[in-house]
Every structure is written in structure tokens, then in C-alpha cells.
Structure 1
């Protein structure tokens, strides 16, 4: 299962780029934020691709649209900032687009929304008995900031091995751990070194930001194909970079990200049962 996320930056001409990405990377689940283009046109174009993606039900979520080629997909909770989808009775996928700091520090507001998402996940897990969780989207903060890293929020760790404990205790409260592989993209050992570039006049500015992230529950780790996690800068027909290797703002100010989950039955079954064995 290949999952692609992209913040479309309200580009009304984005459909041709989306379709070529889907074809180029054989996308099974497409999650898009800030989509304002012609949905009917995109639905028609996606249905004509080899992947034949269909629109998922996201009524109630104004910031995320999702398409999938899975027949067995049911909507979970839909909120302004996030959309839950349950795939093949085996995976809970949460597409997210959180509030940004464009008009001031919104870290507390983001943390409040993240806690809502974590609570929704707990309820869905109890209702469905599904432990395989994938959170993907534009979190509008870095992996090391409080909403992504704090135990009472996403708890997205840079290292989480399958033999590690499922959770940890802080002040007598248990918090589930998540693995955030996007930590691996920091610095110039990778190209590009982020999903979003912004040259601000602030004294403290990394210039490159990793706002677009994927987090997975521990049970998904055996199924996660590490080498297929990518920040995408091109498709078969299009270059998404400008002449400085930054995101081409004429297309989008964000690069897309893609990940792959090996949902072969053998691995899926191991992932489903792993949490019960620890």
C-alpha cells in the first residue's frame, strides 16, 4: 500500500500534477490538503489511471481530501482538521492538516487538536480492534516540537524498534509510542532536506522545514518499507523544484511525501497480532 500526501497550496491547476504523481509512483491512497481545484475533473482523471482511485467520504473535513483504490474502506471521524479512514478492516489512516503559525504562535491550538486525534484513535481502536495506525499530513510543525514529540500528543519518536515497549509511563500516565521516520531527513545528507522552504528574517530559522510527516504505530513497523519513504521532487512528466531546488511555488510551496506499507497478508497478520504478544 503506497500512500502519498501533498499540500496543494490552493493551486487550481494542480490536477495534472496529482494525476502524474499517482501514475508515476503507483499510489494506492492519495491524501491532499488545501485542494481547491475541480474535484469532478480529478475524479474522472484518477479513475482513468492504472490505479483507478475513487473519492473517499470526507464530509465534515474541510482541509483534507482522500482518494483510494481499496473497495473495503469506511470513513471514521471527520473533523475540520483531520479525516479518518479504515482500510480493509486492518488499517486506520488519519489524514491531517493542522493550523499553521502564519498569524502567530498556534502551538497550543495544534496540541489541543492533536490530543483530540489521539483520543479518537483510542476510541477507534477499542471499537474496531485495529492496532495499525498511520497518521499522515501537514502537521505545520517540526518533528521535535511539542505537538509531534510530547508523550501526551503524537509521541512521535525518532527511533522505535519492534522489540521496544508499546508505551511509556510519565507521572503514572501511560502513553502510546509512535515512530516518526521523518526525523531521518534532517540535514544535507538528504536531498531535499525538507518538504517546505521559507527564508524568514527571524534570527532563529532552519530555512528548511519538515512540516509534512508520517507517523506509524509500533504494530506497523514490520510492514513499513523504509527505503520507500521519500520526499518527492519530480514525477514522470514534471519537475516540482525551482532553479534553486526549492519547491516550485507555481505548483506548490510543499513537496509531496510518499510511504509504503507492505500489506501482504503474512506481514499484516504479524502486525495485527504483535501488540498482543508484548
Structure 2
């Protein structure tokens, strides 16, 4: 785990009744992560069985997913960048969750290169959906691309659009026929949002999940939205909450300047979302 204070932060987050934790860059030995999550008295967590050593899920043993069964549907054995698990809750339809940690753009991989990898991921997702017979799918993790980049928006890649309305209508366009679409709600968390209010010490809510701290690149946008959740239309109306998490109630994940505390907690800010099953 990256920061010295991260285990204590995970314990405090686990005490908030989060049903599933996804770590996109989990240590090979996941035991310390599980120990940190269970270092509180309210909730107990267990690791979900998966072939992936890099992208790992940990599920709360009580709550709406009590008694749910998890099936390992796909594993990227070459690069271990995505894993697909189908969750079958009691009394609800199953859904497919794709955990992802795609290749980093820094310093070598170009935007075109990342789009090429995203095309492979999109093809794998479609294959799994065909195999299991439904597209109640969400894809979540560190995508290492912004919502506006080609790997997210191109039809042959992840084909992720910024509104529910677009997710409903773009598939009717002849140029997009045959390319299933994702809804990307992370657009609503990018930059200063109208609903934002000034936080204590004059700090605003984070306008992204990662801060690229270089002043030499004149085209640098500084804040990046690399960590995202994408939903197929079959699930998008079930999304009831989405936020970039800036603290655990006791420890802030951002500095006085509002940047991620990379050396203490993590260089990425986590996202939290809720789906009504």
C-alpha cells in the first residue's frame, strides 16, 4: 500500500458500511489490505475469489450483498489489467462488474496507444456480455484516460457518453449502429460544479481524481479524471450516488492546496458510488 496512513484510512472507510471495495492496483499479497479493512469492529470483509492478482474486490459480509454469489467470468492473463466478476445477489438480477487498471500514459504511452488498448478492453467486455447473456454491466477503476479521450468516446473503443439521454439516443445513429454504449457519469464531477460550496479553509471539492503536477507543459490541464465508473444503459438509472472521496471523516486525502496527498495516502483520489439493486 502506498502511504503510511492508508491502512488506518481504509479501516475508517470500512466502518462506513461500504459494500464492496475495489483496488485497481492491489499488492500481490492482499492480506495487509484485508487486515486493514477488518481493523474495525463494525463490518467484516472477505476477498472475492478471482484469478487477478492486481485488480481485487473485497465484499462486506453483511448488508444487501449478504449471501450473494460471485463468479469469475474473465481474466486478462497477459497483462492482468481487467477482471470480470458476475455478482448474483439474493432476490435481484445478477450484474457484471469489470475491475480495471489500464496502462498509464506517463511518460511513454500516447493517446492513440491508450485508445488501442481500450479497444481491446471493449472487445473483451462485449465477449463476456455475450457469453453470460446480458449487459447489466459496470466498468470501474483506474482507466488512465480522461472522459473526453479517444479510448473513452470512440465507438470502437469504450463508447462512453456524458449523459443518460445520449446513452439512449446515440445508438440510433447509423454511424454508431452495432457499438454498445456506456454512460459515463464522471463528467458531472469534472471541474468546479455548480452545486459546489466553498469548504473550510477556502478549499473547494476536488475537480478530478489525479493531479498532474507539472508547470512546464503549457497544454497541461492539471486535474485529470482517471478514475471512473461506466454503466451500460441497463444499469444507468440505478445509479443513485456518485462522489470523489476527499477524506474518511478523520483524515483528509487532500492537502491544504487541494491536491492528493500522494506520499501519505495515495496519488489518486477514490470514487464512491451507489447502485440500487
Give the TM-score band, short-chain normalised: 0.7 to 0.9
Counterpart check, 1:213 vs 2:258: no
Residue in 1 aligned with 2:75? 78
CA RMSD of aligned residues (A): 2.4
Q: CA deviation at 1:171?
A: 4.7
Across the two proteins, how many residue pairs are aligned to each other? 251
- Aligned pair partner of 2:163 in 146, 159, 163: 159
| 1:84-116 Cα deviation digits (max 9, x unpaired) | 111116111011111112122333333233222
Residue in 2 aligned with 1:275? none
Does structure 2 conserve the Cα–Cα contact (< 8 Å) formed by 1:166 and 1:176?
Answer: no
- Aligned pair partner of 2:31 in 40, 62, 74: 40
Residue in 2 aligned with 1:94? 98
Residue in 2 aligned with 1:116? 120
Counterpart check, 1:253 vs 2:264: no
Unaligned runs of 5+ in 2: 197-204
Of the two structures, which has the highest relative contact order with CA contacts closer than 8 Å and spacing of 6 or more?
Answer: 1
Unaligned runs of 5+ in 1: 1-7, 264-278
- Aligned pair partner of 1:196 in 210, 217, 222: 210
- Aligned pair partner of 1:239 in 252, 260, 263: 252
Aligned mates of 1:45, 1:175 — CA distance in 2: 41
Does structure 1 conserve the Cα–Cα contact (< 8 Å) formed by 2:70 and 2:86?
Answer: yes
Does structure 1 conserve the Cα–Cα contact (< 8 Å) formed by 2:160 and 2:183?
Answer: yes
Does structure 1 conserve the Cα–Cα contact (< 8 Å) formed by 2:146 and 2:224?
Answer: yes
Does structure 1 conserve the Cα–Cα contact (< 8 Å) formed by 2:25 and 2:54?
Answer: yes
Residue in 2 aligned with 1:107? 111
Say which is worse superposed, 186-195 or 46-55, in terms of deviation.
46-55
Say which is worse superposed, 175-184 or 15-24, in terms of deviation.
15-24
Residue in 2 aligned with 1:230? 243
- Aligned pair partner of 1:176 in 176, 180, 183: 180
Return the TM-score normalized by structure 2.
0.82
Q: CA deviation at 1:138?
A: 0.8
Say which is worse superposed, 128-137 or 160-169, in terms of deviation.
160-169
Does structure 2 conserve the Cα–Cα contact (< 8 Å) formed by 1:14 and 1:37?
Answer: no
Aligned mates of 2:104, 2:166 — CA distance in 1: 33
Rate the CA distance shift 1:170–1:109 in 2: closer, same or farther, 3 A: farther
Q: Extract structure 1 runs of 4+ deviating beyond 3 A.
A: 10-13, 44-51, 168-173
Does structure 2 conserve the Cα–Cα contact (< 8 Å) formed by 1:131 and 1:219?
Answer: yes
| 1:53-110 Cα deviation digits (max 9, x unpaired) | 2112232x34312112343111121121111111116111011111112122333333
Aligned mates of 1:130, 1:240 — CA distance in 2: 37
Aligned mates of 2:10, 2:147 — CA distance in 1: 26
